[in-house]
Structures are given as C-alpha cells and as structure tokens.
Amino acid sequence: MDRDDLLAALARLVPPERLLTRAGALSAYESDGLTAYRARPRAVVLAESADEVIGTVRACHAARVPFMARGSGTSLSGGAVPIEDGIVIALNRMNRVLRFDPEARVAVVEPGVVNLAVTALAVPHGLYYAPDPSSQSVCTIGGNVAFNSGGAHCFRHGMTANHVLGLRVVLGDGTVAVLGGDSLEQAGADVTGLFVGSEGLFGVALEITLRLVARPAVYRTVLAAYDSLQAAGDAVSRIIESGLLPGAMEIMDRLAMDAAEAAVHAGYPTGAAAVLIVECEGDAAQVAEEFEQLLRILSASGAAHTHVAADDEERARIWKGRKSAFSAVGRLSPDFIVQDGVVPRAKLGEALATIEQLSRTHGIRVANVFHAGDGNLHPLILYDGREPGAHDRAEVLAAEILRLCIRLGGSITGEHGVGLEKRAFLGEMYNEVDLDCMRRVRQAMDPHGVANTGKKLGPPSGATASHGLHPLERAGVISRA
C-alpha cells in the first residue's frame, strides 16, 4: 500500500463523518498542552472501537505513514502533537468501562475514559483510582498510560505504572498482545510496566486494567506558610526524615500562590514567600496521631503560620488552587513554559536556590510549583512571546534547569514525559548504550517506526514552534501539572 492508498483504506474502516481530512476540522488536532509545537496531520480517525484502531494501525504500518494516538491532548511535552502529514487516531469516543469488579478491585477501561471518571465509578464501593494528574478532569487513561502520568499523591501511591495491572495493546505493526492481568501479582515478566510510559512508541493501548484501592477513611490537610522557599523545602526533608508518610507534600512559591489565589480564591496566606501543603490520609486513629506529629514538625520548622483545613470543602479549595496553579500563571504572563524535572529530595533546597539565581541572572521570572515529596519541580518560566527572542531566552533558562536536575542526580522529567520537548536531553541523562537499547526495543515493537514517530527518541517530526496558552486552557477548561 502506498501513501495515497492509505486514505482509501481508512475510508473503508470508518464512516466519512469519522474520518476528518478538511483543514478546518484538522486544526483542532494540531497541538497539545505544549503549544510551542504544532503540526498538521493528513487525517484524523475518530475511532469508536478497538478493531478500528487496529485497522488504522495496520493500514499505517502497510503504508509506512506515521500515526499518533491521542486522548484529550493535555500532554505538556508535545507528546500528543501530530506527526506532520501523519494520521491522528482520536480515542475520546472509546470511553467505555468494559468491566468493573469491586471485589477483585479492578476496572477494565478503554483508553478514552477520563481519569476522574474511574474514581467516580469506584467511590460508591469505597474504592478509587489513585493517580491524580492535575488535568484529571479531562485527561484520559490512555494518555496517562502512554506518559506514566503522576500527580500530587505519588509520594505514597506511585505513578500510573504502579496502578496498571494489565493491557491489551496493538503494537506498531498491528500485532495485538495481552500483557498482565487482573491480579496485583504478575506471572512472568512485568511487561505491562514497560509498556506504561512508552509515549506511544510501542503502539496503542486498547484495554487497560486498572488497580483500584480503598479510599482513605480520613484526609487531614494543612497549609504552612514560610518566609522563604528554602525553609519550606527544608520542612519537607524533616517530615521525610521523621518517618511520617503523608499522602502528598506540595510547595508553591509566592508568584504561583498569587496567581492561584487570583484564579480560584483558594484561601492561601498572603504575604508568605512559600506555602507547603501536606496531606495525611488513612484510617482515623492512625491519621490523628500522624497529623499531630506533623503539626509538631511544622511548628518546629519555622513556619510563620499554619492553617488546618476545617472540612472537605476547604480541602477541595486548597487542592483546586494547587491544581489550577499552572493555568493561573497565565494571568501573570502572556506565555510561559511549564518545566518538569526531578532532583533527589535532599537536594531540593539547593535546586531551588540555583533556580532563583538563574532567574535573576537571566532576568526572567520563574514561578515554582512542585511535588516536594517526590523532588519533582515544576518551574514556570514566564515570558512574552510578542517580544522578539523572548521564547528562545526562556528555553535557554529551561534547559539550564534540566541540566541542573541531571547534575544533582535527578531526571529531566518526573511525569510529563520526554515528548518532543526533551528529546535533546535524553542523551544527557542516558549514555549511547542505553539509548541504543531503547531504540532497538522500539524497533522490535514497531519495525517501521510509525508509532508516534519523532517523540522521545527522535528524529525530529517536522513540527514547528509557536507559543501561547492552549485554547482550552485559555477558556479555563484544562489546567496543567
């Protein structure tokens, strides 16, 4: 099959209203949450079944035309930017829950199911789906699997890979494989874990078996305000050293707090340089003791002020502020880069001090929001894209922050993935032997290299850079973390 036959093949797979080829219809699929990149696909297939996805993958493989599977397009690393002149497989319509078994504590879902919808399904049975990326009200499980999404509660609960027990996937050459199963325990090599986080380079997940966990009986959430970012970071180290195991530990600096406060009136203290949010979770008696110890540590850590969430409503407001922080920063600056890097937790203070210094040296404002318990930094680099060269200068600073993370023994990405954005840095974190192995594994799963071509391992996809907020983000529909 040559490239020209491909559209005809796709037209045999899906009805015309689900095969988009006109420029106007395609434009909605040109970019994702990382709006600096854009590319025009040749066509979009609005898939409604696994067979349609398999058929599309096989047609693309035969025609050697790249494809990209897409959920809600909230990727912050350009992972869901189409391949120029390639095919987009839109999975949002594949949003069925195929099986829900509260006794076995699993849900089997299609990739287009929205993250929060899984929890909505499970809550009546005292269960929930733990991974909670900030975009969880719109992002899909398929995208979460592709990018091994994180969230605010990874400190205790881990990432998406820790919550996916089984998969049915179509590999890049159209072969269908079943990985893992329903059990928490695996029989044989845990290849499910390898598929998670592969950024679409191995193929497309068609069915995903998710592990559901008991909903904590109690949450206790406290806000602690500090006079410096460093003091907030040190408090996190003390909490970890003390042997407590909170569900989440998050820090926001003044700039991020102000933005969040303006956006959602979360009730964050005014005037503080940084705020630390710590949440304990579990059964009531255990949490009561843990929370008491936590408050003692916070008061000894030089917190200028602590405030305990009085009820669920206040807790929800605190988290809403935190989870909308990225998009709220759009109020402070016309454009910004959301960076995502990891440092060893004990080096948080050093990393933050260096970022502050870099910000001053470059004369570029940086807002900091981060998953402190994981050492996962999200510096927001603010710039005005209308100023000539501003975007490039911001990218130079972003690169320096990533190199700082590598130098401190951390990672170039904690949860957003490599995507298009960080391909150049993968080779600074891993050596040529490691990269060669990654390329060969990819080639084994996708011999023609058509699955999400150009992401993670390169080569370049031909996407072009621009900037600005995602249209959905401007409208306040989605947020970033």
Partner 1 sequence: MIVQPASIDELAEVVPAHVRLRVRGGGSKPALSSPLPGVTTLDLSALTGITEHTPEECVFTALAGTPIAEIERTLAPHRQYLPFDPPLAAAGATLGGTVAAGFNGSCRYRFGGIRDFLIGARVVDGRGRVITSGGKVVKNAAGFLLHQALVGSCGTIGVLAELTFKVFPAAEAHATIGVEVGDVASAVRVVASVQRAGIDLEAIDVVPPKRVWLRLGGFRSALSTRVAILQQAIGPNAMVLYGEDDAAVWRQAADVSWAPAPASLVRVPMTLPVLPGLDLCLAPTHAPRRYTIAGNLGLIAWPGTLDTLDTMLRDLGLTGQVLRGAPERPWLGALAPNAFEQRLRTVIDPDGRFAGVPAGR
- Shortest reach from residue 101's CB to partner 1, in Å: 7
Asked if 395 interacts with partner 1 (CB under 8 A), we say no
Find, among 360, 336, 245, the residue nearest to 35 by Cα: 336
Residue (95 or 198) nearer to partner 1, CB: 198
Asked if 316 interacts with partner 1 (CB under 8 A), we say no
Residue (157 or 391) nearer to partner 1, CB: 157
- Shortest reach from residue 444's CB to partner 1, in Å: 4
Region from 55-63, 190-198, 227-235, 267-275 binding partner 1, contact rule CB under 8 A: 190-198
Region from 24-32, 60-68, 131-139, 340-348 binding partner 1, contact rule CB under 8 A: 340-348
CA distance 166 to 109: 11
Site for partner 1 in 118-147 (CB under 8 A): 126, 147
> In this chain, which of 13, 57, 418, 420 binds partner 1, going by CB under 8 A?
418
Where in 52-119 does DSSP place strands (E)?
67-70, 87-90, 97-101, 106-109
- Shortest reach from residue 445's CB to partner 1, in Å: 6
DSSP state string for 122-163: HGGGTEE-----TTTTT-BHHHHHHHT---TTHHHH--GGGG
> In this chain, which of 422, 455, 467, 480 binds partner 1, going by CB under 8 A?
422
Region from 88-96, 223-231, 380-388, 410-418 binding partner 1, contact rule CB under 8 A: 410-418
> In this chain, which of 24, 124, 243, 459 binds partner 1, going by CB under 8 A?
243
CA distance 366 to 5: 49
Contact partners, residue 35, CB within 8 Å, separation at least 6:
466, 467, 468, 469, 470
Spatial contact of 374 and 250, defined as CB atoms under 8 Å apart? no
Asked if 410 interacts with partner 1 (CB under 8 A), we say yes
Residues in the chain: 481
Asked if 32 interacts with partner 1 (CB under 8 A), we say no
> In this chain, which of 225, 412, 469, 481 binds partner 1, going by CB under 8 A?
412
Asked if 198 interacts with partner 1 (CB under 8 A), we say yes
> In this chain, which of 273, 438, 465, 477 binds partner 1, going by CB under 8 A?
438
> In this chain, which of 43, 68, 106, 259 binds partner 1, going by CB under 8 A?
106
Contact partners, residue 368, CB within 8 Å, separation at least 6:
229, 251, 252, 253, 255, 256, 352, 355, 377, 378, 379, 380
Which tokens in the block code for residue 467?
Answer: 């900037």
Region from 43-51, 151-159, 318-326, 473-481 binding partner 1, contact rule CB under 8 A: 151-159
Site for partner 1 in 360-379 (CB under 8 A): 371, 374-376
Q: Work out the angle at residue 80's Cα, subtended by the Cα atoms of residues 149 and 49, and round it to the nearest 5 degrees.
A: 90
Chain Cα centroid distance, residue 129 = 15
Find, among 343, 419, 417, 341, the residue nearest to 381 by Cα: 341
Spatial contact of 453 and 41, defined as CB atoms under 8 Å apart? no
> How many residues sit in the footprint of partner 1 (CB under 8 A)?
92
Residue (343 or 382) nearer to partner 1, CB: 343
Residue (112 or 417) nearer to partner 1, CB: 417
Burial class (CB in 10 A: 0-12, 13-18, 19+), 222: buried
Asked if 348 interacts with partner 1 (CB under 8 A), we say no
